[in-house]
Amino acid sequence: MPLSDTKLRAVRPTGARVELPDRGGLSLRVGASGAMTWTLTYRVKGKGDPGEGRVARLAGPKCRMALGSYPAMGLSEAREAALAARRLARDGIDPGAAQRAQAAAQAAAITVADLIERYAADHLRRNLRSAPVVEALLARHVRPAWGHRPVAEVTRGDLLKLLDDVRQPRPVEVRTRGRGTFTVDRGGAGAAAEVRKWVRAMFQYAVEAEMRPDNPFAGVRNRDRARPRDRVLSMEELRAVWTAACATPYPWGPFYQLLILTGCRRGEWATARWLWLDEAWSALEIPAEHYKTDRPHVVPLSPLARSIVAALPAPVTGDHLFSSDGGQTAIAGFSDAKAALERLAAAYYGGPMTPWVVHDLRRSMATHMERLGVAPHVIEACLGHVLKGVAGTYRRYNFLPEKLDALQRWADTVRETRTLTAAAA
């Protein structure tokens, strides 16, 4: 029997692909995941194989084409589309071929710059907390090289060439407000690995969005596997970074001070909001949806950390602690800010420091806490790691007293660093 709207509303996925016939070759294909697509089976008049006989030749070969997805295309719309396609087939025109030619023409008009914007809007900003970082990566390395090119024309060789270019660090001149102009290195093996990862994902999105039939980068392997980092800043190096942060104005100076004092990840303070602080500003509670482990994490604040928070400017247009527009949006421009901090830290250190990344501040705090005699499970709790075994069972109360004691001991060590620096000055 033909389909009806009532029957369609009752359709449920069964875990296997199912064909629900309507009439005139029209059917609804229900995928294993529940996706529903209208398809049409038809014959193109006069396009049959001459060797199959006169009747088969006149009737034409049996073909199938997709008309649209349900429920975006309803039953009546699908029947109208099927009728129009069958009319073309009776006139000797293959509607499927015409559809594919139109899709190819539309795909040829879509540039990589268009793809980047659609990928960011439809996927990154909806699903990733790190969306601004990925967008910046694509804008820095992919858009300048491919932005003007049609998505359908990009090849595997283009990606291999792009990765070779990204692997070579190059100096870039950066202009900032209030700090002048300075040069930073952009690129390297780590950047190449990230470019490969996100370009592959973006072009898979292009396939799913029917911008091109295949992903040319599906088989491109990662040749830039990062080695586990073990960089730990010495107390002399931390002294230089801490002093540089103290001399740097809001938002970046207090931001780096709190990273040093709490061992949080960069994004945790960068996206922190005033509402995450308790009434006494004695702790920062990061909600589960903003934390890496998808569990809430409480960061006790030592008196030194609380004094830094208390000195932050009051929000005007939003509730972000660290912002360049009155709290409306979180801070951005991490690479430029760190480059400026490194230049200032080198002046206090007496020369260039061994290269370090922001995450090394977190590792350094953990390492020096161990030197101070803090228990390993307490260090793990301070870092927000999910504890296993018996420790994980008792982690339900988050070791708050132990964490506060450990962070206070660490703050006292940093305070001694500040005192030594002031005495030296």
- Which of 83-92, 122-131, 388-397 is predicted with the least confidence, judged by mean pLDDT? 388-397
Q: What is the pLDDT of residue 16?
A: 83
pLDDT, average across residues 78-97: 91
Tell me: do 70 and 145 sit in the same domain.
no
Q: What is the pLDDT of residue 99?
A: 81
Tell me: do 147 and 191 sit in the same domain.
yes
Confidence of residue 31 (pLDDT cuts 50, 70, 90): confident
Q: How many other β-carbons are positioned within 10 Å of the β-carbon of residue 143?
A: 16
Tell me: do 35 and 182 sit in the same domain.
no
Domain boundary among 66, 89, 108: 108
Report yes or no on 230 lying in a domain: no
What's the full length of the chain, in residues? 425
Domain boundary among 193, 208, 223: 208
Question: What are the tens digits of pLDDT across the range 280-305?
Answer: 889 999 998 888 777 888 999 999 99
Position 56 pLDDT exceeds 60: no
Higher confidence at residue 75 or residue 106?
Answer: 75
Tell me: do 43 and 97 sit in the same domain.
yes
Tell me: do 24 and 39 sit in the same domain.
yes
Report yes or no on 226 lying in a domain: no
Given phi > 0 = left and psi -120 to 50 = alpha, else beta, which region is 212? beta
Cβ(233)–Cβ(241) below 8 Å: yes
Tell me: do 334 and 386 sit in the same domain.
yes
Report yes or no on 225 lying in a domain: no
Full 3-state SS string of 55-124: HHHHHCCEEEEEEEEECCCCHHHHHHHHHHHHHHHHCCCCHHHHHHHHHHHHHHHCEHHHHHHHHHHHHH
Q: Which two tokens stand for residue 288?
A: 């589960």
- Which of 152-161, 261-270, 395-404 is predicted with the least confidence, judged by mean pLDDT? 395-404
Give the whole-angstrom CA distance, residue 128 versus residue 390.
32
Q: What is the pLDDT of residue 422?
A: 44
Tell me: do 146 and 281 sit in the same domain.
no
Tell me: do 97 and 142 sit in the same domain.
no
Q: What is the pLDDT of residue 296?
A: 86
Q: Is the dihedral of CA 314, 238, 184, 147 positive or negative?
A: negative
Tell me: do 291 and 245 sit in the same domain.
yes
Report the number of distinct structural domains present in the chain. Answer: 3
Show Cβ contacts of residue 326 under 8 Å, excluding neighbours closer than 6 positions: 315, 316, 317, 318
CB-neighbour burial class of residue 138 (10 A; exposed 0-12, middle 13-18, buried 19+) = buried
Tell me: do 245 and 257 sit in the same domain.
yes
Whichever domain contains 11, its CATH number is 3.30.160.390
Report yes or no on 224 lying in a domain: no
Show Cβ contacts of residue 350 under 8 Å, excluding neighbours closer than 6 positions: none
Question: What are the tens digits of pLDDT across the range 188-240?
Answer: 888 899 999 999 999 998 888 878 878 999 888 888 876 667 899 999 999 99
Position 341 pLDDT exceeds 90: yes
Report yes or no on 143 lying in a domain: yes
pLDDT, average across residues 268-275: 94
Higher confidence at residue 277 or residue 108?
Answer: 277
Cβ(269)–Cβ(392) below 8 Å: no
pLDDT, average across residues 254-267: 96
Give the whole-angstrom CA distance, residue 218 versus residue 235.
45
Q: Which two tokens stand for residue 143?
A: 């858009």
Report yes or no on 223 lying in a domain: no
DSSP state of 214: S
Range of the domain at 158: 112-208
Find the largest Cα–Cα distance for the chain: 102
Report yes or no on 213 lying in a domain: no
- Which of 13-22, 287-296, 365-374 is predicted with the least confidence, judged by mean pLDDT? 287-296
Tell me: do 367 and 399 sit in the same domain.
yes
Whichever domain contains 361, its CATH number is 1.10.443.10
Tell me: do 246 and 344 sit in the same domain.
yes
Position 315 pLDDT exceeds 90: no
Cβ(32)–Cβ(15) below 8 Å: yes
Confidence of residue 425 (pLDDT cuts 50, 70, 90): very low
Domain boundary among 63, 90, 108: 108
Q: What is the pLDDT of residue 128?
A: 83
Report yes or no on 127 lying in a domain: yes
